[in-house]
Amino acid sequence: MIILTMLAALAVVMLLAFMRASIWSWLLAMIVFVPVLAIQSQLSADVFQVVIIALVVVVAVLGIPTLRRLLVSRIILKVFRNILPQISQTEQEALDAGTVWWDGDLFSGQPNWNKLLSYPKAVLSAKEQAFLDNETEQLCAMLDDWDITHVRQDLPPQVWQFIKDKGFFGMIFPQVYGGLQFSALAHSAVVAKLASRSATAAVTVMVPNSLGPAELLLHYGTPQQKEKYLRRLAQGKEVPCFALTGPFAGSDAGAIPDYGIVCHGEFNGQTNVLGIRLNWEKRYITLSPVATLLGLAFKLHDPDHLLSAESERGITLALIPTDTPGVQVGRRHFPLNSAFQNGPTQGKDVFVPMEYIIGGPEYIGQGWRMLMECLAAGRSISLPASATGASKMAARTCGAYSRVRKQFRLPIGKFEGVEEALARIGGNVYMMDAARTLTTVALDMGEKPSVISAIVKYHCTDRARLIINDAMDVHGGKGICMGPSNYLARGYQQTPIGITVEGANILTRSMIIFGQGAIRSHPYVLKEIQAAHDPDAKRAVHTFDAALFAHISFSLSNAVRAWLFGLTGGHGIPVPDGAATQRYYQQLTRYAAAFALAADVAMLVLGGTLKRREKISARLGDVLSLLYMCSATLKRFEDDGRPDSDLPLLHWSMQDALHKIQTAFDGVLQNFPSRFAALILRALIFPIGRCLAPPSDELGHQVAALLMQPGATRNRLTSGMYVPGNESDAVGALEAALLSTLNCEPLQAKVEAARKAGKVNALDELARIAEAGEHGAINAQETQMLERDYILRRKVIMVDDFAPEELRSVG
């Protein structure tokens, strides 16, 4: 009988877990089952009496809100305040910035997949598509990356003018200011296409449309500032840059030493003007060498209290024409042979009036908040788009080269070692583009997903590095010899730039994704922290009590769900229909519950020290990131119409990510400081061990084959990149060579058969083709096809060489 009672209790617990029951429901279950179990255990009367008294006390204390707040929540709140880590002002403003979107569902442990699939499909407007097909295509055709990066170290003048004239600098500007007013999706698509052709052009276009003067003016500028600058910026009559990073303040932007002193001075012939005397030294500022308008972040001081009684006014932003006396721009950095304009800027005793503050005096001291709110949008677009565009180019060229290039009479793409690299390239590009697209959908819905922006920035740039490394390996000597024929090497050189900027990837992974997500995206943690900082003691206890006990119920629910899903492998979880995708939704739901549980345990056990446990935080961040990347991949497959031919790409990317989630969890458990907590977590998350395997060799073979075969799947995978139609172009020649190779292989077999029959004896390939034609083994048209095929293959395989004097300026 006692076993049946325990089973019934277990069933009720599971039901409560799945219902996300309140604390009262859990207490009610205790009231019902504890006495029954006590009776059936045949306890003595005294012991039974103690059990019942203890139960009554627990239920009364936890179930009566007034008692609970007095005896439990007030005490826990006091302890919580003591262990809560110190949060700097800049950290707090970063936490407050942006919105919570799909990351909130993932942190809940119970993602609503139907909600995800109901989000709009990413579709460009007719105007946006026309711009991509015409102006952007024309710009790509004007770009010669070897000329840009080796000869000029800059874009040609006609390219600069085209960019300005066609509105590339004004993609995000409203039409009322002369801008294109494009969606985030269109902005991303333009940058991605340009990046598939030239990183220099992509960076030049994306910076004025990303975090900088334009976006800051749009959100915070005064009417006078908007009227003065936005139209000129949109038309390219002003070239903007934004200066934040300096020699002594990189990732720790709160430590910037650049300062401004409120004072009176002379400006434009007027005396006694109230303004700011600025001093700064900045570096790594893109477009600074050619900028006409400088956005500047600095700390404002008011020692004479000309504005208020407060002396230290905080980080403030100003917009300064670069021809202002004392402003220094023009010198350049040379980041990894990139030709985009990037350099330092300094200012010595530069006096500007108060109206130069972005937003006017009311925005004094709010600079960091302004930057963080804009960063969520800018970081979601520029770097994910540029990384994905470059990766698509690598995927398309690797597939073609692997089919055209032969060794041992076999295309190199059919060697299993090369297949492994091609599979990684294809699977990663498929997932990157899915994440890039879904994130722009969020932006176009009005979201500013700060945590997700960090996820896509990190994963797209990091995967781009893996892709370009694999692409270089596949190309071998072709990839390492610089010159006009090399379409990979500059990307290989420049990949670390995207890894480094807008939040270095090491910092993003180890501190930002989970560190920020645990507070912003968790359903209760931010409420608990806000209560801890509330100066109203009564209100603080009420708020904390409600959040704490909802949090406890939430954690109990996820513990039970994680354990049950671990036992069943997620089978039986209700998810959207789809034979190919059902198990993926179930496995993601399982791991979302496990992640929510692990996050709560980590915060409970480690407390304030979790901030310094960066390796634990990084691995938990990996789980959250991969849950998002997988969500985007499934959404992409649905929006594409579930094409069967894309299944190898879907399966490879999902299986690879799920296996990495499993590995990240294992890393957390192996290294968790509390071994007892780690054992409990392992029993709940992996009750029957780790069961997921990485993608199989056969699946990798299928992905590699898709990259080497022209068709709808290859085109979908690399859609939006620039594909030259000119055979004089290295990439255009490769595209032509791929088609020619597939068409001519049967003809080459005829020539080989003639050679074996003794009809063809020439040693040179072109001579063999001619001889085969003369002997009738192939007809005249086939002879021409084979001769063209040889020329194309040779052009694709050959590398550049130079006279010694030509190499003197090679960088």
Residues designated as active site: 502
* Number of CB atoms found within 10 A of residue 659's CB: 16
Maximal C-alpha separation, the chain: 111
The tally of CA atoms less than 13 A away on the side-chain side of residue 661 is: 29
Residue 152 per-residue DSSP state: I
Q: What is the 3-state secondary structure (H, E, C) of 49-88?
A: HHHHHHHHHHHHHHHCHHHHHHHHHHHHHHHHHHHCCCCC
Contact of 450 with 99, CB cutoff 8 Å: yes
Contact of 102 with 442, CB cutoff 8 Å: yes
* 283 contact partners, CB below 8 Å, separation of at least 6: 245, 246, 247, 333, 343, 344
Structural tokens at position 555 = 């954690």
d(CA 99, CA 299): 27
Rg (CA), the chain: 31
In terms of Cα–Cα distance, which of 702, 790, 726 is closest to 404? 790
Q: What is the 3-state secondary structure (H, E, C) of 29-52?
A: HHHHHHHHHHHHCCCCHHHHHHHH
Phi (first) and psi of residue 407, to 5 degrees: -140, 140
Phi (first) and psi of residue 674, to 5 degrees: -90, 110
In terms of Cα–Cα distance, which of 509, 515, 242, 236 is closest to 375? 242
Q: Sign of torsion, CA 305 309 314 319?
A: negative
Contact of 504 with 512, CB cutoff 8 Å: no
Structural tokens at position 237 = 């009559």
Task: Tell me the residue length of the chain.
Answer: 811
